[in-house]
Chain A
Amino acid sequence: DQQVKQNSPSLSVQEGRISILNCDYTNSMFDYFLWYKKYPAEGPTFLISISSIKDKNEDGRFTVFLNKSAKHLSLHIVPSQPGDSAVYFCAARGGATNKLIFGTGTLLAVQP
């Protein structure tokens, strides 16, 4: 049972445009959400996070939005750059174990 879902395995965007990556979760006890970025042959690196007491967090070109009622979060990258091409994982924490649960990942390709 996948508690954190990324329904789009891949996304292709033109350089300079906005990239929107989506993530849905099922556990209402989750209270902290993170996005990680992963390049081939490297480990994931932390990108941005948001607590459930907020609905938006911004860091440079990256903004994460949280809609608690819909159990949905999204990562916006504006403007997208070719170096943003990577696999993006969303992750959530909270509930009984309080350990990070990851989604399945979305491969973003930013075309020059």
Chain B
Amino acid sequence: IAGITQAPTSQILAAGRRMTLRCTQDMRHNAMYWYRQDLGLGLRLIHYSNTAGTTGKGEVPDGYSVSRANTDDFPLTLASAVPSQTSVYFCASSIEPNSPLHFGNGTRLTVT
């Protein structure tokens, strides 16, 4: 079934550790995104990529980095995790930057 795959589904991480959340899509969508969902704050955009080889900063980029080496993969890296990065992370993609987003099922990350 075509769609977006996120891994891991959940993770408990010690503060200060490095972590990469994986995201792969098989729909050949040009644009990809990373959002975090927090209670009372909704979904906030961390980073995005309009096409392979390009990335941009969203609303809350600090503490996160991304890369887009090819169309299918868009990993999100926390270089040194902090407790405030405890959240549910959603990867999304769209055919074009202005098309509706398709979301993965999320990664629940707890930083202790």
Which residues of A does B touch, CB under 8 Å?
4, 6, 32, 34, 36, 41-46, 49, 89, 91, 93, 97-105
Contact = CB atoms under 8 A, between A and B. Distances in A.
A43 B40 contact: no
B100 A89 contact: no
Interface residues of B, number: 23
Contacts of B97: 98
A100 to B, nearest CB: 7
Contact of A99 (B40, B48, B104, B105): B48
Interface in B27-50: 33, 35, 40-45, 48
Given A89-B43, A99-B45, A105-B42, 8 more contacts: A42-B106, A43-B105, A44-B90, A46-B101, A93-B98, A100-B45, A100-B101, A102-B42
A98 B50 CA distance: 11
Q: Which of B35, B45, B100, B105: most chain A Cβ within 10 A?
A: B100
Given A93-B98, A99-B48, A43 B90 contact: yes
Most buried by B among A89, A97, A103: A97
Contacts of A4: 42
A86 B16 CA distance: 35
A43 B103 contact: yes
A80 to B, nearest CB: 23
- A-B complex: 4 closest residue pairs judged by Cβ atoms: A43-B103, A102-B43, A104-B42, A46-B100
B102 interface: yes
Contacts of B104: 43
A104 B101 contact: no
Interface in B54-89: 58-59
B4 interface: yes
B92 interface: yes
Given A44-B90, A45-B103, A98 B42 contact: no
